[in-house]
């Protein structure tokens, strides 16, 4: 696994950065489109087309992604589906939920300690700038004897990048080792190319420095 991760990192080139669009469906069914255009990000609400849902021209995927990556006994990685499934949350004894998606609402406000940090899944997003706030919440959950679930929309890019960065800082792991650990726990994890580039250059302070 680590050898494959190293190959993936070596093969990365900034020239391969692509503009991305991410569609998000909130817990209330609202559809949001995250995109990058003219050197700025845009978040648009998608309305219902004429002719109803059938006019969208796609087959809706109703399968839930409830696979949760066990990074540490107290640190989990998953999708919004897992974060919105009470049975899954109870199964893994989750107490704290870090939501780093944009437009994805929290489902069980009275049952868990939540932290929302809205991050766009775009290569241009400076995800490293969000690390201190994310890491503080993760450490808080750990110090309180809890179990922290980190999630975004799909649990593939934003949340994975946060967890990888956290391992690089807290465990003093190299990027290949941190990425391999996350992929081993949740094979779907794959930060976008811009996040991967930032992680390559990430140099966390060591021993409180």
Q: Which residues are catalytic?
A: 152
**β-bridge partners, 115:** 98
- Residue 191 · residue 122 · CB < 8 Å: no
Q: How far apart are CA 138 and CA 164, in angstroms?
A: 13
Residues 69-95 as b or e (16 or more Cβ within 10 Å = b): bebbebbbbbbbbbbbbeebbeebebb
Q: How far apart are CA 53 and CA 168, in angstroms?
A: 44
Helix (H, G, I), strand (E, B), or coil: what is residue 5? helix
**What φ, ψ does residue 176 adopt, rounded to 5°?**
-60, -40
User: N- to C-terminal Cα distance for the chain?
Assistant: 31
**What φ, ψ does residue 177 adopt, rounded to 5°?**
-70, -40
């Amino acid at each position: 696994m680590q050898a494959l991760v190293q190959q993936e990192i070596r093969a990365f080139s900034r020239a391969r950065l692509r503009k991305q669009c991410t569609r998000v469906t909130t817990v209330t069914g609202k559809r949001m489109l995250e995109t990058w255009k003219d050197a700025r990000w845009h978040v648009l609400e998608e309305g219902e087309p004429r002719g109803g849902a059938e006019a969208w021209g796609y087959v809706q995927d109703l399968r839930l992604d409830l696979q949760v990556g066990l990074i540490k006994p107290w640190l989990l990685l998953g999708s919004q589906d897992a974060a919105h499934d009470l049975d899954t949350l109870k199964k893994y004894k989750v107490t704290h939920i870090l939501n780093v998606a944009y437009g994805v609402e929290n489902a069980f406000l009275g049952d868990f300690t939540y932290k929302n940090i809205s991050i766009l899944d775009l290569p241009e997003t400076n995800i490293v700038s969000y690390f201190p706030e994310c890491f503080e919440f993760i450490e808080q959950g750990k110090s309180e004897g809890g179990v922290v679930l980190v999630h975004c929309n799909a649990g593939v890019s934003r949340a994975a990048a946060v967890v990888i960065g956290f391992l690089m800082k807290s465990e003093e792991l190299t990027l290949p080792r941190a990425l391999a650990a996350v992929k081993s726990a949740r094979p779907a994890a794959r930060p976008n190319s811009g996040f991967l580039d930032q992680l390559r250059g990430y140099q966390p302070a060591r021993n409180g420095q």
